[in-house]
């Protein structure tokens, strides 16, 4: 019998796994794609995925994690809406010997409270966005407005840090307004309207949005103000969702940095290995970041991405 157990193939082992997924919500097209891909990756592995949508509220994520612990799931996936306030509930999962893997965002907690974090280098994304604008302006003055992601989330903190690092030392570039649009199209539009009203559209040279959905909302506000997005106001954002490629193809946007929605593939691979034989993954599994501009065939990329669940 022991011999049989020792040679049980991992795929058969995975068929018995039950994993809880505490997802933030569906605030952006990218988030919707991550949910679609995660469900598919679990199904492909024969994993029983218990999905909980928190409507962007941390207390709902904490409740979901407690429920998963009470159910005795084998592991937990967590996309943490904000970076703080997780220590207690992650301790409870640890005490129950339930490994937690973070998806697309990190937490300010001791790293023995989670198995690994599968994320992009969020600071690097901000640097790439800032460097694109430095190169684009080539020394010319540019007054920048910034749409920040969800307040207190690691992408909002890190993408701001990276962008500011890239433009530091270039006195021709200045961020004149910066406010959260909570990663959503609707708030991106409303906050951009307030920027245009406060500054006057003719005094805004560029928009840096922490995700494409806020940029798409802002594009509508810029058009409503009778200005040409991508021309009167340059726009750089992050995610590379289909609608960002479409906007770039149409000349309404200038650049985006790709964030893969498939964090679950590497996460579930690491969990299967850990649960099967204790293989410990690195604390950070980094996903790639690629810059897309008008030089790329954005129409073709849009066609490739549009049916991936965004």
**Which residues of the chain form contacts with ligand GYE (CB under 6 A)?**
27-28, 30-31, 104-105, 155, 183, 211, 213, 238-239, 259
Q: How far is the CB of 296 from ligand GYE (least distance, A)?
A: 19
Residue whose CB is less far from ligand GYE, 131 or 154: 154
Residue whose CB is less far from ligand GYE, 119 or 254: 119
Q: How far apart are CA 136 and CA 130, in angstroms?
A: 10
Q: How far apart are CA 263 and CA 237, in angstroms?
A: 20
End-to-end CA distance of the chain: 46
Q: How far is the CB of 124 from ligand GYE (least distance, A)?
A: 12
- Closest of 114, 93, 62, 91 to residue 267, by C-alpha: 114
Residue whose CB is less far from ligand GYE, 214 or 225: 214
Q: How far is the CB of 123 from ligand GYE (least distance, A)?
A: 12
Residue whose CB is less far from ligand GYE, 230 or 261: 261
User: 239 to each of 15, 104, 116, 163, 205, how far by Cα in Å?
Assistant: 32, 11, 22, 15, 22
H-type helices in the chain, by residue range?
2-6, 10-15, 29-44, 58-71, 87-95, 122-137, 154-167, 185-199, 212-224, 242-249, 264-277, 298-305
Q: How far is the CB of 162 from ligand GYE (least distance, A)?
A: 13
Residue whose CB is less far from ligand GYE, 131 or 211: 211
CB proximity list for 254: less than 8 A, separation 6 or greater: 132, 136, 230, 234, 235, 236, 248, 293, 294
Residue whose CB is less far from ligand GYE, 137 or 301: 301
> Cα–chain-centroid distance for residue 35?
12
Residue whose CB is less far from ligand GYE, 239 or 272: 239
Q: How far is the CB of 238 from ligand GYE (least distance, A)?
A: 6
Q: Could you tell me how many helices (H) and strands (E) the chain has, helices first?
A: 12, 12
Q: How far is the CB of 46 from ligand GYE (least distance, A)?
A: 27
Q: How far is the CB of 183 from ligand GYE (least distance, A)?
A: 4
Q: How far apart are CA 186 and CA 8, in angstroms?
A: 50
Q: Cβ(257)–Cβ(125) under 8 Å?
A: yes
User: 192 to each of 28, 186, 252, how far by Cα in Å?
Assistant: 17, 10, 15
Residue whose CB is less far from ligand GYE, 100 or 137: 100
């Amino acid at each position: 019998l022991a011999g049989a157990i020792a040679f049980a193939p991992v795929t058969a082992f995975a068929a018995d796994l039950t994993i809880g997924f505490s997802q933030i919500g569906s605030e952006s097209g990218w988030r919707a794609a991550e949910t679609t891909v995660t469900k598919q990756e679990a199904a492909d592995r024969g994993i029983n995925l218990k999905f909980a949508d928190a409507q962007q509220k941390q207390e709902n994520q904490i409740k979901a994690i407690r429920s998963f612990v009470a159910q005795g799931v084998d592991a937990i996936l967590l996309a943490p809406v904000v970076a703080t306030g997780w220590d207690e509930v992650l301790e409870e999962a640890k005490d129950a010997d339930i490994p937690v893997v973070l998806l697309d965002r990190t937490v300010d907690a001791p790293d023995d409270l989670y198995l690994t974090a599968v994320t992009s280098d969020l600071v690097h994304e901000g640097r790439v966005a800032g460097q694109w604008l430095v190169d684009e302006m080539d020394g010319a003055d540019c007054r920048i407005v910034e749409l920040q992601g969800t307040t207190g989330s690691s992408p909002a903190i890190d993408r701001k840090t990276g962008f500011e690092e890239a433009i530091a030392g270039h006195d021709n570039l200045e961020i004149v307004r910066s406010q959260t649009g909570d990663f959503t199209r609707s708030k991106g539009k409303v906050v951009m309207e307030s920027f245009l009203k406060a500054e006057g559209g003719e005094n805004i040279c560029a928009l840096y949005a922490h995700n494409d959905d806020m940029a798409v909302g802002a594009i509508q506000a810029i058009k409503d103000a009778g200005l040409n997005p991508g021309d009167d106001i340059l726009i750089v954002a992050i995610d590379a969702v289909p609608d960002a490629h479409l906007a770039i193809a149409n000349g309404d946007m200038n650049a985006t940095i790709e964030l893969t929605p498939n964090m679950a593939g590497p996460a579930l691979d690491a969990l299967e290995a850990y649960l099967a034989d204790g293989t410990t993954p690195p604390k950070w599994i980094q996903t790639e970041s690629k810059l897309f501009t008008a030089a790329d065939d954005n129409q073709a990329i849009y066609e490739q991405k549009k049916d991936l669940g965004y």
